Structure 1
């Protein structure tokens, strides 16, 4: 299936590396005007030569998310599709519950849930005015079951993001806006995921791979393909859904 996004403007958060970068490039290759948002401007430097605009954004607060979206609107005039890929574990690793502090807990919720909420809030008025729009969150298999990483805040935040996705789908559907989520399995997409994978050790790595029907880890392009489908006209009657992209999970 060839997906054409000519005439569409797409904003992708968390676009400096891994899954977010792959999503931004997939839309650009399909004809869209793409705005990449991330706190890491240096990480987005390659986009300058690819026709993708870069926007510095710390999306954990309502005001900063709104300002980032306004910057995109000022440059491109509209946002037809929002993909909230910002998130992750923020360098944390699994630890016993006794050791978890407030700062660590809130940092992961801010990156994964708050950022998606405030960005969605900022783009909805324009989508509502046009009577159409797509919002796609990047959740996780950890939003559907316990996390392999053992990070309590990450599993909780991704479950919350799934709930936010479904709630927004209910609220925004009558206004022509669909809201869906892609839930990746284990994808080696950035230094954090590579560190987690190495920490598993050979025996646990083998166990994880044996629990995947396709017997391989995911790639960022696997997730980008699913996002592009949900953003396309082919998915206009799909909303409030969570698409697991995990190679099949036993």
Structure 2
């Protein structure tokens, strides 16, 4: 099979391309560096020529209101190009609980992307993942200073990027779901506790203070954790952070 991976040079996309190639498929990365511009549509027709499946893991460059225009325009362009190319399966990567956080512009933008895909011309699959292990450091940096890191106690169920890649490849090489598959890590942590585990593993003696504002403080309850039907990945955060530090 031939796959075009939109965002195929990034953290998830590059690993998806590699896994598909290792399995004997033709996997074409599509990104600005390969001459594909999702916002203008430039290069899309060439990138999708002969593709059986399109996997879209490209992300908005911002998390504010501008992300709505990004996902609207890029999804419209990709679906139109896919229809011209006769693509039989469109796959996107989204977020567990995304439709339950209307106060965040970026989450509304991802819901818009999902809705456009559902209304589009091709069979589709949506893979919703929880927060990646690899982004925990960035989350800590949003509200830190020389002595403290302020984090809300929002429950998260983080997942390793490699496990996300495996799930995306599994869905993309199967029949279209015409629905959603949730994936998550095996354990739930309050974000402030996750911060303490991460700092300790790094030998960072800053203290974690529970509270603060920001994206995760606006999340209600445990909506970013997996429901009973989610597929749970095997990698534990403590094991991963020990290996990577």
TM-score by structure 1 length?
A: 0.63
Partners of 1:211 and 1:242 in 2: CA distance: 19
For structure 1, the 5+ residue unaligned runs are 1-7, 42-54, 93-103, 173-177
What's 1:186 paired with? 131
Structure 1 runs of 4+ aligned residues shifted over 6 Å read none
Q: SS at 2:58's partner residue?
A: coil
Matches within 5 A, 1:213-224: 217-224=158-165
Which residue, 180, 183, 200 being the options, matches 1:245?
A: 183
1:135 pairs with 2:93 = no
Q: SS at 1:31's partner residue?
A: coil
What's 1:68 paired with? 43
Partners of 1:245 and 1:200 in 2: CA distance: 27
Give CA-to-partner distance per residue, 1:14-38, whole Å, 9 cap, x none. 1222112222222112111111111
What's 1:47 paired with? none
Aligned length: 184
Partners of 2:38 and 2:11 in 1: CA distance: 18
Summarize the Cα distance change of 1:59–1:25 in structure 2 as closer, same or farther, 3 Å threshold. Answer: same
Matches within 5 A, 1:173-212: 178-189=123-134, 194-199=137-142, 204=151, 207-208=153-154, 211-212=156-157
Q: SS at 2:54's partner residue?
A: strand
Which residue, 100, 112, 135 being the options, matches 1:145?
A: 100
Give CA-to-partner distance per residue, 1:41-89, whole Å, 9 cap, x none. 2xxxxxxxxxxxxx2222113xxx2x3222325xxx501110111114x
Q: SS at 1:144's partner residue?
A: helix
1:12–1:35 CA contact under 8 A, matched in 2:
yes
Partners of 1:203 and 1:25 in 2: CA distance: 37
Q: CA RMSD in A?
A: 2.7
1:105 pairs with 2:80 = no
Q: Could you tell me how far 1:200 is from its partner in structure 2?
A: 5.6
Summarize the Cα distance change of 1:22–1:70 in structure 2 as closer, same or farther, 3 Å threshold. Answer: same
Q: Could you tell me how far 1:135 is from its partner in structure 2?
A: 0.6
Q: Could you tell me how far 1:189 is from its partner in structure 2?
A: 4.6
Summarize the Cα distance change of 1:197–1:85 in structure 2 as closer, same or farther, 3 Å threshold. Answer: farther
Partners of 1:167 and 1:143 in 2: CA distance: 18
Summarize the Cα distance change of 1:189–1:70 in structure 2 as closer, same or farther, 3 Å threshold. Answer: farther
Which residue, 12, 22, 34 being the options, matches 1:19?
A: 12
